[in-house]
Amino acid sequence: MKLSAISAALLLLSPLAQATTLDLNLQKTMPEIEKLYLDLHQSPELSYHEKETGQKLAKQLKQLGFTITDNVGGYGVVGIYKNGDGPTVMIRTDTDGLPIVEQTGKPYASKVTVTNDAGATVGVMHGCGHDIHMSSFIGTAQQLMTHKDQWQGTLMMVAQPAEEVGGGAKAMLKEGLFTKYPTPDHVIGLHVSASVPAGKVSMKTEYTMASVDSVDITVKGKGGHGAYPHTTIDPVVIASRIVLALQTITSRELSPLEPSVITVGSIHGGSKHNVISDEVKLQLTLRSYNPEVRLQQIAAIKRISKGIALSAGLDESLAPEVYVHEDESIPSTYNNPAQTNLVRSAIANAIGEDNVLETEAVMAGEDFGLYGRTEQHVPITLFWLGGVEPNQYDAAMQSGATLPSLHSSKFAPDYKKALPTGITAMSNAAVALFNKK
């Protein structure tokens, strides 16, 4: 038998070849979804303040026939629809905006300003595409309900708050997301991409996004007059030595095969030109994939900081204080290979193989990874939804120009092309998981 014939035979035997590809009538539903997108885009809410956003999503799901529980883990929403015997598939969206003044120049740009928890007036924008996520989420729910004769099981729609601060998934899980409700057999989500053209999706198996930790280091010293440094132990110098030494953790202590980022994003100390202060504060972000690497990073930061301080002559009682914000820590996102390959095949069947790209892992973080780190060991898959207007993408590729990134005040996804792609991709991925043999 020739190779092509063997391939054809295997394809016919494959459950993926016979998987259901939904016949979606998006022309009929897209005006409503686009209207929802524009509303969400123009009314963003900051993390832990997504009250009206949660209400809007709950209303949409309730109208579709879901049993709704709101205010879960803050302003989170859980919608459950039981459609006979079968697996439980959870689809997740995030709901919070960012403290950014939008500068896209779009006629529908957000003009929202609020007073944040620190008392400052800030703009608010869906600069990370959560409005795309939510609109695709509702569009997917519509399609799955319209085509519920083609799948069996329990559909679990979860609108999660506070993703941007790493708190929403933790809060919902703490309130019993996987115990008070049906425990999902599969969890899937999407994230809009600022580097993939609209109309396409991209994904990878295994590690796809990094763990994230925020770390504060308080460096102490013995202050005094800037003209008499010999009578002091200068914390600015100690902090400077620490900043440089921390770079050797990734370059000299960790395996070069293990991705690691240690960035000092903030350094503050002193108040006047001629005063040596008593204290300097450093703020760091740590990124990795492997949980063991994360522990190595933290242990090395503590050891190096203390060692440098003591070498400067400080007493051990004045050793630097290293504080890891465990409440904000999120794990890496690990796409279950078997599930992700099934999702990839289902999406390729629906939108075309050429529109499903392989991507590389990134060092950005997402608390979606927490859903795969529970004691239930639920397989998860997060894929990227192209958001860049195709002509803009092509022009940037030809000129070498940098496209506006996620969290940019100028990030404006091509929602008219991205939304139907996201709905088609997610709906077919869910049906493939429901019908998985």
Q: Which of 385, 378, 367 is nearest to 427 (CA)?
A: 385
> Are residues 40 and 132 in contact, defined by beta-carbon separation less than 8 angstroms?
no
Crossing angle for the helix pair 51-63 and 130-146, nearest 10 degrees?
A: 10
Distance in angstroms (rounded) separating the CA atoms of residues 166 and 94? 11
Task: Round to the nearest angstrom and report the end-to-end CA distance of the chain.
Answer: 28
The residues, ordered by sequence, that sit 6+ positions from 407 with a Cβ below 8 Å of its Cβ are 98, 100, 127, 128
Distance in angstroms (rounded) separating the CA atoms of residues 5 and 48? 56
Crossing angle for the helix pair 415-434 and 130-146, nearest 10 degrees?
A: 50
Residues taking part in catalysis: 96, 163
The residues, ordered by sequence, that sit 6+ positions from 384 with a Cβ below 8 Å of its Cβ are 190, 191, 192, 193, 196, 201, 202, 203, 359
Q: Specify the pairing of strand 88-94 against strand 186-197.
A: parallel
Distance in angstroms (rounded) separating the CA atoms of residues 163 and 425? 22
Tokens 């996201």 found at: 422
> Are residues 287 and 260 in contact, defined by beta-carbon separation less than 8 angstroms?
yes
Angle at CA of residue 429, ends 437 and 127, nearest 5°: 150
> Are residues 40 and 32 in contact, defined by beta-carbon separation less than 8 angstroms?
no
Residue 72, classed as helix, strand or coil, is: strand
Q: Which of 160, 183, 182 is nearest to 70 (CA)?
A: 160
